[in-house]
Structure 1
Amino acid sequence: MKKILFLALFTCFTIVTSCSVDDGAVVVQFEAIPIESVVIPSEFNLGETYTISVTYKRPTDCHSFSNFEYIAESSNVRTVAVVNLFSTEADCVALVDNIQTQTFNFNVLDTNPYTFKFWQGKDESGEDMYLVYEIPVNN
């Protein structure tokens, strides 16, 4: 019985993995892009909403802004990364100093200071690097 089950699963796996998905469709993937600089207030007021600007270099003409990866690590620590869609379509052209700016709104809901960590890529040893801002909140 185990041999029959194994043979059935192996056959299904072979059928699924042997099918070609090359139907001419453009393949896209998400890619985190290092943040170059940030415009953020030096302090917040409780209950207000602030626009935060993030600047990054668009690497190729096959990259386009998708969204922010925004992670609330704790009640007052936020990690932010720029996410681009990257088309694996042929012939991407590398861009030199193609600076892009995107913004997001942040609502201040707590009186404790907020820490923002903006992703800047990885260092030589593969560790994540961040621009870190601690923003105090006025009541």
Structure 2
Amino acid sequence: MLSSAFSCSVDGVDSSNYQEILPIESAMVPSEFLLNETYEITVTYLRPTSCHAFNNIYYQKHNNERTVAVITTFFGDNGNCTTIDSPLEATFNFKATQVGTYVFKFWQGEDDNGEDSYLIVEVPVTEE
């Protein structure tokens, strides 16, 4: 399960700031990769409130699979959060280092049974 949140406390004062993994709505991925070339991959996610700020891309490698999600930081200690559900984009670079097919699993949240759901994109790699 990818869904998680992290918080911290400084000098015993509870902070309402934490990191949150958000689902990806869509992804722009090339239809094929050339071996040893680097590509920019863009994902779209919904920023749920004005207190969420992009932090990083969650990126996990396992053989030819890549699991991707968006990590935001929630800054709730200002008390001025408004719901916005605004779509934003984030990008990361990917270098194709092996021939075959890469499988990208873009995390889209959990289904009704609490199971992770993914947008799965398979991209073949060629040698020109």
Give the stretch that moved more between structures: 83-92 or 126-135.
Answer: 83-92
The structural deviation recorded for 1:91 is: 3.0
Q: How far apart are the structure 2 equivalents of 1:66 and 1:27?
A: 16
- Deviation readout 1:45-83 (Å, 9 max, x if unpaired): 001000000001100001000001100022x11000100
The structural deviation recorded for 1:26 is: 4.9
The structural deviation recorded for 1:112 is: 1.5
Q: 4+ runs of 1 displaced by more than 3 Å?
A: none
Q: 5+ residue gaps in structure 1?
A: 1-19
Q: How far apart are the structure 2 equivalents of 1:62 and 1:88?
A: 6
Q: How far apart are the structure 1 equivalents of 2:16 and 2:100?
A: 44
For the 8 Å contact 1:26–1:87, the answer to whether it is kept is no
Matched, 1:78 2:62: no
Matched, 1:47 2:36: yes
1:33 to 6, 19, 22: 22
Q: Which has the higher helix share?
A: 1
Q: How far apart are the structure 1 equivalents of 2:72 and 2:107?
A: 14
Q: Which has the higher strand share?
A: 2
| Normalised TM-score (structure 2) | 0.86
Q: Which amino acid aligns with 2:106?
A: F
Name the residue aligned to 1:108: 96
2:12 to 3, 18, 21: 21
Q: 5+ residue gaps in structure 2?
A: 1-10
Q: How many residues align?
A: 116
Larger Rg: 1
Q: Which amino acid aligns with 1:21?
A: G
Name the residue aligned to 1:117: 105
Name the residue aligned to 1:56: 45
Identical pairs, percent: 46
Coordinate RMSD, CA, aligned:
1.4
1:92 to 81, 86, 107: 81
The structural deviation recorded for 1:21 is: 1.9
| Normalised TM-score (structure 1) | 0.79
